[in-house]
Amino acid sequence: MFKYVGNQLQCEGIPLSAIQKEVGTPTYVYSAGLIRQMMSAYQVADPNAVFAYALKANQNIEILKLIREAGFGADVTSGGELFLALEAGFDPEKIIFSGVGKRDDEILMAFNAGISAIHVESPAEMYVIEKLAAERGLRAKVGMRLNPNVDAETHPYISTGLLENKFGVPIDAGIKLIKYAAESPHLTPTGVAMHIGSQIREISSFVEAANLVTDVAVELKSAGIELNYIDLGGGLGINYQRGESNSAEQIEAIQNWVTQVGEPARDAGFVVKAEPGRSVVGAAGALLSQITFSKNNGAKNFLIADAGMNDLIRPPLYSAHHPILPLSLARGGQSGPRSTVDVVGPICESSDFLAKNIQLPNMQRGDLIAVMNAGAYSFAMSSNYNGRLRPAEVLVDGDSWRVIRPRQQYADLL
Ligand code: LLP
């Protein structure tokens, strides 16, 4: 979906330079086709599963609608995300509310919306949900997020399934809490959940955790507590090394994940749920930027782009690698001379870089680049730091495209 056609980098049928001419830079561009392919990979792999897209990855309302139209549910983590999921028309029966610190008003919002389950992450939270439900004469549906204490081998900031992380409840405590919920007149236990981390490309820790969590559901079944589902969470990574997109590779990774990680749950007779975010939208986005200046200080070459860490914070925050491609290969082509550069932004700190020590064709003021694999946790983590406007967002679908979020204007800073 992102590839060179002749000398021009395209998204589906549209040269990215055509979007830049009308919308300017920095601009996020997304491929609707790629998002649909990833969703269908999940659905084909297990047609009985419920896939709840994790809104935190990318919450543009038009992207949410596209995801809802494919039959996905939603995994939300705040009142704001619940609001967006409802605005996008997600069936409340397919909405899950995850998160370690839900406020009372957010729990009440979930009751009012009639969502499928609140995933509880501590004993204290379970008692608060019970109390709020009791005060209103309700029965709240609760799932239990377990912390299986499995090392997912990803960046420590996005690892969540170890006991040193704040997430979930240890297995033994979780079993006790589900038994407690089953006895309560104001709680209905619905399922067990896990989420061991993000950007994990090795399947073994997922399988290990899925076995542990399934064992819990099986043990509870023999104690007479019938749970409906096992939620495998999200976490499947994408290939950040690749610039031009390769759907086949990612489709295979998704199908492999659903098949292998869901197997223990299916074998034990449970419905599988999952909460993918990055693997659905990550490869489907690119951040377009224009080079403002090229600078050599005798020690290094810098390309100063008009996008910075406020637009895309993943490189400095997680040492993430996002390939950078020139929009046009007209000058120099792929085989022409290259130099080693740092691609940096205009922000006043040295953590403001998009890539360090990468090889690019010689570029100069006015040239255009695309920072690839920027569909997940990219716009979603953008900010107005340094008084910079949040970028525009564009959705490409086949041979047509439209702005799905206009660029902010200075008045938005007030
Ligand atoms: N479910 C829960 C409960 C989560 O906390 C997350 C992500 C997901 C599902 C979706 O995980 P995914 O399939 O996207 O890996 N900002 C970081 C990623 C943080 C992930 C947080 N939780 C980054 O840019 O890499």
Asked whether the beta carbons of 57 and 81 are under 8 A apart, the reply is no
Give the Å distance between the CA of 332 and the centre of ligand 1. Answer: 39
Domain boundaries, the chain: 2-29+283-413, 32-278
Give the Å distance between the CA of 237 and the centre of ligand 1. Answer: 10
Decide: helix, strand or coil at residue 255.
helix
Q: Do domains 2-29+283-413 and 32-278 have the same CATH topology?
A: no
Closest atom, ligand 1, to C-alpha of 98: 3
165 pLDDT higher than 60: yes
Alpha helices per DSSP H over 5-102:
16-23, 32-45, 61-69, 79-87
Q: Please, what is the angle between helix 247-267 and helix 32-45, to 10°?
A: 30
Condensed to tens digits (0 to 9), the pLDDT of residues 78-113 reads 999 999 999 999 999 999 999 999 999 999 999 999
Instruction: Judge if the beta carbon of residue 277 lies within 6 A of ligand 1.
Output: yes
Condensed to tens digits (0 to 9), the pLDDT of residues 305-355 reads 999 999 999 999 999 999 999 999 986 556 678 899 999 999 999 999 999
Work out the pLDDT band at 143, boundaries 50, 70, 90: very high
Give the Å distance between the CA of 127 and the centre of ligand 1. Answer: 26
Of the candidate CATH numbers 1.20.210.10, 2.60.40.10, 2.40.37.10, 1.10.630.10, the domain formed by 2-29+283-413 belongs to 2.40.37.10
123 pLDDT higher than 90: yes
Hey, which of 118, 201, 257, 275 would you mutate to test ligand 1's pocket, going by the most ligand atoms within 8 Å of its Cβ?
275
β-pairing, 27-31 vs 50-54, is: unpaired
At 333 the pLDDT is: 58
Closest atom, ligand 1, to C-alpha of 282: 14
| Domain 32-278 class, CATH top level | alpha beta
Work out the pLDDT band at 364, boundaries 50, 70, 90: very high
Hey, which of 166, 278, 281 would you mutate to test ligand 1's pocket, going by the most ligand atoms within 8 Å of its Cβ?
278
Please give the share of the chain, as a percent, with pLDDT higher than 70: 99
Instruction: Judge if the beta carbon of residue 314 lies within 6 A of ligand 1.
Output: yes
| Nearest partner of 58 among 371, 405, 410, 341, judged by Cα | 405
